[in-house]
Amino acid sequence: MARRVQYTSNGDIDQLHLAEAATPEVGPGQVLVTVLYAGLNPLDWKMLQGGRFGTVEGSSGNGVDFSGVVASVGAGVEDFAPGDLVYGGLPKQAQTEQLLIEDPADRLDRIPRGLGIDTAGGLYITGRTAMSGIRALNLSEGETLFVSGASGGVGIIVAQLARNLGARVIGSASEGNHELLRSLGIEPVTYGQGLWASVRALAPNGIQAAYSTQGEDEVEAMIDAGVPAERIVSIGAGPAVAEKHGVSTAGESAARREDMVWLGQAIAYGHIHVPINRVFDVDEVQDAYRHLLNAHPAGKVLLRFPAKPLTDEQRAHLH
């Protein structure tokens, strides 16, 4: 038996609980992963609530991002072997001790040398979202980009990708996260009243592109500030803003299969820094989501599953 985070009715965080589940049997072409870390995302909470994501029938697993160790492989699997350190994403299933990957060619990658297992465990949603967003922004060297929520899981990756493309980046964050942004070459401004006055003071000649993580009001404020609608990417206002305002809503679903391999290597090589804000034991899953939604943390929040110690070979792979 294996423990998993699940819920049996839609609602708020208090619906999440641990339950026993049978360890999956591995069939041909499949891979069984012992999960070590699972990343938390606001998307998980939206799925928990139901709405456009559907109503739960019976019980549902939770979470998308994960990292771990290959426990076993089915007949015909050649790209993975027991003991491999891996990461990936599987919607509404990732927060479990034993995770069956039926399509490893699409969902699973080896963790590159130098990328921490913990960091890898929170990359799938934020990484794919950031990669598709930076592609849609079509930045040129010397342009100025504004990123809202620049210390959050997606924003901090978008901002650094833009910096690597030679763009100047202004990012909004709470004051407590300004020093982190400065250390990454991002010019911080504070959320709330006076934000756009601060942006105009830093960029009197205007900003050429913007990345929005909040609602439609923010998209409209960006347009009012003179950002061309076609140079705005919105991931927080819903799909309707694309037709209404002409902005892009390129998100996780627009990512390419190779994006996670590229991003994982970029982090391992030190070109991108993905901070881990806090790691909770899986038994603290409700507290973990409350922290994610209420504390506005910089970087990722993770769940940790108990596991056997890594082998010497696995530990050496991380350096």
Q: pLDDT tens digits for 235-269?
A: 999 999 999 999 999 999 999 999 999 999 999 99
Structure tokens at 122: 């929170």
- Residue 272 is predicted with a pLDDT of 97
Contacts of 179 (CB under 8 A, 6+ apart): none
Percent of the chain with pLDDT over 90: 91
Q: pLDDT tens digits for 104-123?
A: 999 999 999 999 999 999 99
Q: pLDDT tens digits for 153-164?
A: 999 999 999 999
- Residue 241 is predicted with a pLDDT of 96
Percent of the chain with pLDDT over 70: 100
Residue 319 binned pLDDT confidence (cut-offs 50, 70, 90): low
Contacts of 258 (CB under 8 A, 6+ apart): none
Q: Give the pLDDT mean for 202-224.
A: 96
Q: pLDDT tens digits for 20-45?
A: 999 999 999 999 999 999 999 999 99
Q: Is the pLDDT of residue 284 over 80?
A: yes
Contacts of 54 (CB under 8 A, 6+ apart): none
Q: How many CB atoms lie within 10 A of CB 204?
A: 7
State the residue for tokens 């309707």. 240
Residue 54 binned pLDDT confidence (cut-offs 50, 70, 90): confident
Structural domains of the chain sorted by starting position, each given as residue range(s) with its CATH number in brackets = 2-123+274-317 (3.90.180.10), 127-254 (3.40.50.720)
Whole-structure pTM value? 0.94
Q: pLDDT tens digits for 72-100?
A: 999 999 999 999 999 999 999 999 999 99
Cα 19 → chain centroid: 25
**d(C-alpha 61, C-alpha 22), whole Å:** 13
Q: Is the pLDDT of residue 3 over 70?
A: yes
User: Residue 307 corresponds to which amino acid?
Assistant: A
Residue 307 binned pLDDT confidence (cut-offs 50, 70, 90): confident
Q: Give the pLDDT mean for 281-306.
A: 95
Structure tokens at 128: 């794919």
Residue 317 binned pLDDT confidence (cut-offs 50, 70, 90): confident
| Cβ-based burial of 250 (10 A; exposed 0-12, middle 13-18, buried ≥19) | buried
Q: Which residue has the higher pLDDT, 117 or 313?
A: 117
* Secondary structure (DSSP) of the chain: -EEEEEESS-SSGGG-EEEEEPPPPP-TT-EEEEEEEEE--HHHHHHHH-GGG----S-EE--SEEEEEEEEE-TT--S--TT-EEEEE-TTT-SBSEEEES-HHHHEEEPPTT--HHHHTT-HHHHHHHHHHHHHHT--TT-EEEETTTTSTTHHHHHHHHHHTT-EEEEEE-GGGHHHHHHTT-EEEESSTTHHHHHHHH-TT--SEEEE-S-HHHHHHHHHTT--GGGEEESSS-THHHHHH--B---GGG--TTHHHHHHHHHHTTSS---EEEEEEGGGHHHHHHHHHHS--SSEEEEE---PPPPHHHHHHT-
- Residue 86 is predicted with a pLDDT of 98
